[in-house]
Amino acid sequence: MTKRPEEDIARPEGEAAAGSAAGPRWLSDAEQDVWRAYLHATTLLEDHLDRQLQRDAGMPHVYYGLLVNLSEAPRRRLRMTDLARHAKITRSRLSHAIARLEKSGWVRREDCPSDKRGQLAVLTDEGYEMLRRSAPGHVAAVRAALFDRLSPEQVAQFGDMCRTIAAGLQPAGADLPWLR
């Protein structure tokens, strides 16, 4: 097997995968292969879904996610800070996205009745209708790009792996970008 050029960057020559007290615990060749496959697949999947939604609904994937979050909320509304936390995006990025969604007529802002400093993002009837119309194409794209390529056993394993990873990364503290 030939040496990949990126191995010099990923792990210095002669450095053990397990690392040492003086250095990092480098990825093994197998782990590095899985990591790169994961990055490649997730980048391609996100790009595929983003292009599908841009083409079919005129919005990026992140905007679709915001509409989904609002559609699932009581009375189709969430505080902006809660929506940022659900979507895992900064308040600044959320504010820009909501402004674009407002221009499309899919979302409106309202003052928060329990906190005069807060604002609510509200999914409009037009936004709900756009989500309803675009959901079948999006689901078909997700199915074709991901689930149709996996066996039922692989789907179950993939779900278990994702939940395990997410549980180990559950955020704690106020230093997260979507909490600032």
- Containing structural domain, residue 49: 41-167
What is the rounded CA–CA span in Å between residue 23 and residue 13?
Answer: 13
Would 5 be classed as within a structural domain? no
| Number of domains into which the chain is organized | 1
Written as one letter, the residue type at 122 is: V
Q: In this prediction, what percent of the chain has a pLDDT beyond 70?
A: 83
Which runs of E-coded beta strand occur in the chain? Answer: 77-79, 107-111, 119-123
Would 89 be classed as within a structural domain? yes
Contact in structure between 157 and 147 (CB atoms under 8 Å):
no
Would 176 be classed as within a structural domain? no
Would 119 be classed as within a structural domain? yes
Would 55 be classed as within a structural domain? yes
Comparing C-alpha atoms, which of 129, 118, 113 is closest to residue 57? 129
Contact in structure between 124 and 108 (CB atoms under 8 Å):
yes
Predicted confidence at residue 3, as pLDDT, reads 42
- Mean pLDDT score, 143-147: 97
Q: Residue 106's domain is classified under what CATH number? A: 1.10.10.10
Would 107 be classed as within a structural domain? yes
At CA 132, angle to CA 148 and CA 155, rounded to 5?
20
Helix (H, G, I), strand (E, B) or coil at 12: coil
Is the pTM higher than 0.85? The answer reads no
Predicted confidence at residue 91, as pLDDT, reads 87
- Mean pLDDT score, 40-69: 96
Q: Sorting pLDDT into bands at 50, 70 and 90, what band is 1?
A: very low
Would you say residue 72 has pLDDT above 90? yes
Would 118 be classed as within a structural domain? yes
Would 4 be classed as within a structural domain? no
User: Residue 59, Cβ neighbours under 10 Å: how many?
Assistant: 22
User: How confident is the model over 6-27, as pLDDT tens digits?
Assistant: 555 555 555 555 555 678 999 9
Q: Which residues contact 9 (CB under 8 A, 6 or more apart)?
A: none
